[in-house]
Amino acid sequence: MSGSATYVYCVVHRPTRPPMTRMPPGIPGASAAAIDSIARGLWLVSASVPLDDYAEREIQERLQDLDWVSRIALAHEAIVERFGRAAGATVIPMKLFTIFSTLARALEEMRRRRPQLESVAKRVRGAEEWGVRIMRTQDGSPAARGAAQPAASGTAFLAAKRRARDAAQARATAAVEAAEHAFVVLGRFARQTKRQPPPSGAPAPPLLDAALLVPSGRKLRFKAAVNREARRCRDAGADLTLTGPWPAYNFIQSPDGWQ
């Protein structure tokens, strides 16, 4: 299949054209990223891609190739983050494989959605997305270790087993409560929060998997609170992991229909 299409990385809200210095190479096979004006203060970041690699049928056939998808995702993210670092810029990241038949069609669609784009930009301006995941730790408590020791009698064995079960239940409850406490406390620093549903069929789903949109001015206090909650979680038998900051992928969904 010959021909090309337009791959969209993001939309940038900035009074003047964003700088194009030190640009990452972009996704494999694409032309260099380019900027086009959508409207005053709104800029489209896109590239031309060959349909031999990026036609819908080709993409669907390669979605099971995790190495390929990972390479695309990392390259896509590098472009988005590059514009996120531009002074005075608010970035609205596009989903992976946002592709239009032509640049003109991409610009037409973005201009049609200009009110939504401006609303989203206002909502995420000056904030960063952080991820918080809390997992239950493997039970290595003294009660659990004691239950594994040989018992002197059948009665002692049953008593030890009962104690281990009660301790495990108490520890599980404490871990859940610590995760909920962390979500409430950390959510106070966020402009918005989004709790992710557990993966379908996961053998050990997280106690908490959440995205938080945190204003940059609260970052230091937020990270200090994360450290405190991580200690609380450890004491309760859970591990808290913080990731980010990221572009606000989880917060570009708008009630008025954007994405």
CA distance 104 to 100: 9
Burial 87-97 (b: 16+ CB within 10 A, else e): eebbbbbbebb
What tens-digit pLDDT sequence spans the chain (259 residues)?
579 999 999 999 999 999 998 899 999 999 999 999 999 999 999 999 999 999 999 999 999 899 999 999 999 999 999 998 888 999 999 999 999 999 999 999 999 999 999 999 999 999 999 999 999 987 544 444 444 556 566 776 666 667 666 566 767 788 999 999 999 999 999 999 999 887 776 677 899 999 999 999 999 999 999 999 999 999 999 999 999 899 898 998 754 445 5
Give the distance, in angstroms, between the CA of residue 77 and the centroid of all CA atoms in the same chain: 11
219: CB partners within 8 A, 6+ apart = 128, 245
What pLDDT does residue 96 have? 93
Q: No. of H helices and E strands in the chain?
A: 8, 9
Q: What pLDDT shows up at residue 255?
A: 47
Query: For 16-33, how does the pLDDT look when each residue is reduced to its tens digit (9 = 90+)?
Result: 999 998 899 999 999 999
C-alpha pair distances (Å), 35 with each of 10, 60, 93, 99, 109 = 10, 28, 14, 15, 16
Note the pLDDT of residue 151.
55
| Ordered structural domains, the chain, with CATH | 4-125 (no CATH), 128-251 (3.30.70)
In the block, residue with structure tokens 């983050």: 81
Q: What are phi and psi of 30, to 5 degrees?
A: -85, 160
For 185-201, what is each residue's pLDDT tens digit? 999 999 999 998 877 76
Percent of the chain with pLDDT over 90: 69
